[in-house]
Amino acid sequence: MPIALDRRTRRDADLRHIDLEDFLTRDFPGLVTRHGPLVARGIAYLQAPPLAIEIGASSWSFGSDGTTLVASRGTVGGALIVTFDEADFSDWAQNQRSFNAMLTARELRYRGGSELDVSVWDSLWLTLLEGWPVVDDAIEFVDRRGVPLDLGRVFTPADEPEDVAHFLREAGYLHLRNWLDPANMKDISSDIDQALPDYREGDGRSWWATVKDGSRHCVRLQEFIAHSPTTAAILHGERWDHLRGVLAGDDLLEQRPGGRGPEALIKPIGVTVGASDVSFHRDCHFGRHAYNCSNLVTGIAVTGSGVTNGQLRVIAGSHRVLMPVEIASSRPYLPVVAVPTEPGDVTVHLTCTLHESTPPLVEERRVLYTGFSLAPRADDAGGDGATDGGHALAALRERISQILLDDAPRT
């Protein structure tokens, strides 16, 4: 059975204020019936401690009885204890914001556990809410004919569109070649150089990082299309629209609305402070997976990529198995695949596929990021697909990005 690209199970229209007692009475019993055994299996596999939630004078603990998830009043011994206010709990209980988002924004109050425990319970809670398993012993990667996939395969326009779309859904990513003219990448790189003087630190549309010699460098140029006629011609051209159709398969995909994209990224050598090369993460790991996923992120290789100048790495199948982010960075239990590129290559990953960017060692790397979005559902929002929840998460991402930009030097 084909793996669904559209994983949206929740709508903003259904959002309500949920307090802890209300959640336990109205939502929890049905969720446990449907997904409790999956959570219990995840607790055992990840050796997770119990989770205790404190809100005011009330506290409840969540753990496994060996077969399903159970809740008990009070705080049990050895628990990861998270202290919420009512608004934060309501957001978390409805997948509006995750532990990861609150932790990165330095808003999460917890004790009695580690950052790893926080990451594990983020995954276990999403398993409860959405039935996305933490582990699946039966997972395999096969093509439309049942033959094992070559996870390093590079697809060209000569390949069957159905094979391209299937690989994306099966593995969670793609590596494409000959869809764009490599000669155009020199023009885009030149456009980046010419655009740089128009960006200033603190302008709200660029990210900056410090390198080893103490100098500051612009590493992300938002709204780049206004500076690059070549980029505009590519993204508004027939070949790009054809690619959208190939990736969509039986789903409906739209080119991402303007906003601040596409973004040109410069990956310099020796970053010591700032968000340049990010370790394994999901693009939905701050929240709203159940409202937005899976959207597609496309990277256009302006320069080539590899071990010497950094590259994309993905965890195959991580859109199908809810591996915690901290586990992905330390002991992943699905295949880790490097995606070295040539100029003009295109990479694609789903927003809920774990991926990272490795740092350049010898020379800088340049890449352009844009993507495709699932078409809005009839009652999602207005014509632009925007929602209050979506706007709030976008604002949170920008605030978190500023925290990361100003973060302490790397060790």
Give per-residue pLDDT as tens, 324-359. 999 999 999 999 999 999 999 999 999 999 999 999
The domains of the chain, with CATH numbers, are 12-130 (3.30.1050.10), 161-405 (2.60.120.620)
Instruction: Please check whether residue 54 is in contact with residue 108, taking contact to mean a CB–CB distance below 8 angstroms.
Output: no
For residue 398, name the pLDDT band (cuts at 50, 70, 90): low
pLDDT-above-70 percentage for the chain: 91
pLDDT above 70: residue 406: no
pLDDT above 50: residue 409: no
- Mean pLDDT of the region 65-81: 97
Of 70-74, 193-197, 320-324, 383-387, the range with the lowest mean pLDDT is 383-387
Tokens 């990082």 correspond to what residue? 209
- Mean pLDDT of the region 139-149: 95
pLDDT tens profile 82-133:
999 999 999 999 999 999 999 999 999 999 999 999 999 999 999 999 999 9
pLDDT above 90: residue 258: no
Longest CA span, the chain: 64
Q: What is the pLDDT of residue 295?
A: 95
- CA atoms within a 13 Å half-sphere pointing along the CA-CB vector of 189: 16
pLDDT above 80: residue 193: yes
Of 128-137, 190-199, 382-391, 398-407, the range with the lowest mean pLDDT is 382-391
CA separation for the pair 176, 164 (Å, rounded): 9
For residue 385, name the pLDDT band (cuts at 50, 70, 90): very low
Q: What is the pLDDT of residue 378?
A: 79
CA separation for the pair 363, 391 (Å, rounded): 36
- Mean pLDDT of the region 136-146: 94
- Mean pLDDT of the region 212-236: 95
Of 64-68, 210-214, 276-280, 294-298, the range with the lowest mean pLDDT is 276-280
Of 55-69, 192-206, 262-276, 352-366, the range with the lowest mean pLDDT is 262-276
Measuring CA to CA, which residue among 54, 49, 59, 70 is closest to residue 113?
A: 49
- Mean pLDDT of the region 56-73: 97
pTM confidence score? 0.92
Q: What is the pLDDT of residue 392?
A: 62
pLDDT above 60: residue 386: no
Of 9-23, 172-186, 353-367, 389-403, the range with the lowest mean pLDDT is 389-403
Q: Which residues lie closer than 8 Å to 161 by C-beta, 6 or more apart? A: 245, 246, 249
Tokens 């992300």 correspond to what residue? 220
Q: Please state the separation of Cα 30 from the chain's center in Å.
A: 28
Q: What is the pLDDT of residue 273?
A: 87
pLDDT tens profile 278-316:
899 999 999 999 999 999 999 999 999 999 999 999 999
Q: What is the pLDDT of residue 150?
A: 98
Q: What is the pLDDT of residue 383?
A: 38
